[in-house]
Amino acid sequence: MDSLHKRIIALADLHGRTRESLLPILQGVVEYDNYLSQKSMVEISKELDLPASEVYGTATFYSFLEHRKMGKFTIRVCKTISCSMKGKNQILLAIKEMLKIDIGQTTQDGRFSLVETNCLGWCHKAPAMVINHEVFTELTPEKVRGILGEYMKKEI
Amino acid sequence: MIEQHLLLKRVDFIFVQDTDWEKILQKSIHRTKQELINELISSELKGRGGAGFPTGLKWKLTSEAAGDEKYVICNADEGEPGTFKDREILTRVPYKVLTAMAVCGFIVGAKNGIIYLRGEYKFLEKPLKDAINEFSYFCNKINLDFTIKIFMGSGAYICGEETALFESLEGKRGEPRNKPPYPSISGYRKKPTVINNVETLAHTYTIFKYGAKKFYDLGVQYSRGSKLFSISGDTPKPGIYELELGMSLQDFVDEFGDGDTKAVQVGGASGFLVPRKKFHETAIGYQGKLVGISLPTGGSMMIFNSSRSMYNLLDNYLEFFREESCGQCTPCRIGCQQLLAGIKAVKKGERPAPYLDKLLKLSETMQYTAKCGLGQSVANSFASIVENFREEMIY
């Protein structure tokens, strides 16, 4: 049994094997692998005795359940109006320049992925972004460079 | 219609400390269910998530629904652009929300409560769990059979729609159901369910603590009480403010604008844009609604000064809706795509200006035919922006 399979069994033991357990299990896989591979979705469907198409259909509905391979740290920059007004584009530019990737891409070393996202709920402290679950607000290009610098030092 | 406008008045109920929650909980469950429902009904509290359904009536209907298996759900899927108040409530006064859920459970006969927390607020999960643990310990102590758990969302605006939220809780795509049946009869797991916004629950705590009158005395007819407003955009003091309902938008802008306010978006992307010339005649509340349509008053107030392009604003909203439409019904799925493509084409000169009128008709069709509030409300911002700032859409 490979580790993915073991983890899915552990998640199913924890959350149950009903349809209602599907989202927490999908979230659990993303937490570890950063995305849902086709293999993981098929494994989950077997474990919960659901058609793989149902698992895929549910997973792809939710924007945080990525089904493309993602880096260890997913940077989500808010693009909704308040952040957009307060300099979201300069933030994106700073990230793109520093990491040499475009929106939707992952760095060669698999450390960072960059995506845009809808309202994060920090409009009063715009512009905002999240890296995995960590929130950063009132961003400036310098601040972003500092934050990414710290993430570059983290072990992956 | 209300003619009278209130002066802008700051209120402080919601964020008053929740350290007396044990007392409030015990006091409340020693009253009769009928008494508690009457208290809520006489406060005239309406849903603070946007739709404005009378809370007392909602609880009453669920309490009268047949069946032993019922649920209390706290909607913390705060996704409307420009809204961030629920996060603050759950951060600063979580016990008010938990207490309100338990009292609701006591009234309607539910033993289980669920907080549906949006994925973007994952960082709140741990502190909230700690609060729930302490809360459960006390419930056990006083023999109150009520359990609360957290369910995490995963980034889908539509799951804030109550029936989509039930689908999501049931492990499915967050696609809204047909209504009726309403949640009070058939909600989560097709069982009678009370589903309330975080802020609504926090207000019930105030009402159970001080009595209905203190709440009712605030606000104006049909819009009683106070409300949290999430204020962002071109303002020197962005943030969360509790204000009395019924204020005029002019007073609001005088207080929170930067002196050059061109327009205010009331109610987020699904709300209405009000241009400067209409500030005086616009009141914030459930009545005195802007263009005769029921306006969601979730509390999002986005302020724009004269440096802002209203075309960019509409473009941003439509892109948001196009991405967040669940895709289930055709008017919304195709409508959002076509509205966005349409305004882009007019802006580029690929379509003549009168094409905007066709798009307005399309948005009206969506309002009548879309299955849920998302698709129905796209017309709110679309029509209010295009009609008030038509020249900016063209040139």
Which structural domain range is residue A125 located in? 73-153
Q: Report how far residue B253's alpha carbon sits from residue A149's, in angstroms, rounded to the nearest whole number.
A: 40
Residue A102 CB neighbour total at 10 angstroms: 10
**Inter-chain touch B233–A85, beta carbons under 8 Å:** yes
**Inter-chain touch A24–B230, beta carbons under 8 Å:** no
Residue of B nearest to A54 (CA): B172
Is residue B1 situated within a structural domain?
A: no
- The total domain count for chain A is 2
Give pLDDT tens digits for B79-98: 999 999 999 999 999 999 99
- The total domain count for chain B is 3
* Shared-domain flag, residues B162 and B206: yes
Rg (CA), chain B: 21
Q: Which 8-state DSSP code applies to residue B122?
A: G
* Shared-domain flag, residues A81 and A49: no
pLDDT of residue A85: 96
Please report the ipTM that was assigned to this predicted complex: 0.97
Is residue B132 situated within a structural domain?
A: yes
* Shared-domain flag, residues B377 and B334: yes
* Shared-domain flag, residues B247 and B176: no
Cβ pair A50, A19 in contact under 8 A: yes
Is residue A27 situated within a structural domain?
A: yes
Contacts of B168 in chain A (CB under 8 A): 23
Give pLDDT tens digits for B165-180: 999 999 999 999 999 9
Residue of A nearest to B157 (CA): A118
Interface A–B counts its CB contacts (< 8 A) at: 116
CATH code where residue B356 lies: 1.20.1440.230
* Shared-domain flag, residues A87 and A148: yes
Q: Report how far residue A46's alpha carbon sits from residue A48's, in angstroms, rounded to the nearest whole number.
A: 6
**Inter-chain touch B234–A85, beta carbons under 8 Å:** yes
In angstroms, how far is CA B262 from the centroid of its own chain? Answer: 25
CATH code where residue B232 lies: 3.10.20.600
* Shared-domain flag, residues B207 and B246: no
Which structural domain range is residue B166 located in? 21-216
* Shared-domain flag, residues B97 and B178: yes
The dihedral sign for the CA sequence B382, B387, B389, B394? positive
Helix (H, G, I), strand (E, B) or coil at A139: coil
Q: Report how far residue A41's alpha carbon sits from residue A29's, in angstroms, rounded to the nearest whole number.
A: 9
DSSP E strands in chain B: the ranges are 71-76, 112-117, 147-152, 193-197, 219-220, 223-224, 226-233, 239-244, 261-266, 272-275, 300-305
* Shared-domain flag, residues A86 and A145: yes
Interface test with A, best of B120, B126, B307 (most A CBs within 10 A): B120
Give pLDDT tens digits for A66-121: 999 999 999 999 999 999 999 999 999 999 999 999 999 999 999 999 999 999 99
Residue count of chain B:
395
Which residues on chain A place their C-beta less than 8 Å from a C-beta of chain B? 18-24, 26-27, 57-58, 61-65, 79-82, 84-85, 117-126, 130, 133-135
Is residue B323 situated within a structural domain?
A: yes
Give pLDDT tens digits for B272-290: 999 999 998 888 888 644 4
Residue B288 CB neighbour total at 10 angstroms: 22
Q: Which of B151, B157, B265 sits opposite A118 (nearest CB)?
A: B157
**Inter-chain touch B82–A81, beta carbons under 8 Å:** yes
Out of B263, B278, B305, pick the residue that ends a domain.
B305
Is residue A64 situated within a structural domain?
A: no
Residue of B nearest to A122 (CA): B84
* Shared-domain flag, residues B30 and B126: yes
Give the HSE-up count for residue B251: Cα atoms under 13 Å, Cβ half-sphere. Answer: 15
> Quick one: chain B helix, strand, coil %, rounded to 5?
50, 15, 35
Residue count of chain A:
156
Out of B197, B216, B235, pick the residue that ends a domain.
B216
Out of A59, A89, A105, pick the residue that ends a domain.
A59
CATH code where residue A97 lies: 3.40.30.10
Is residue B5 situated within a structural domain?
A: no
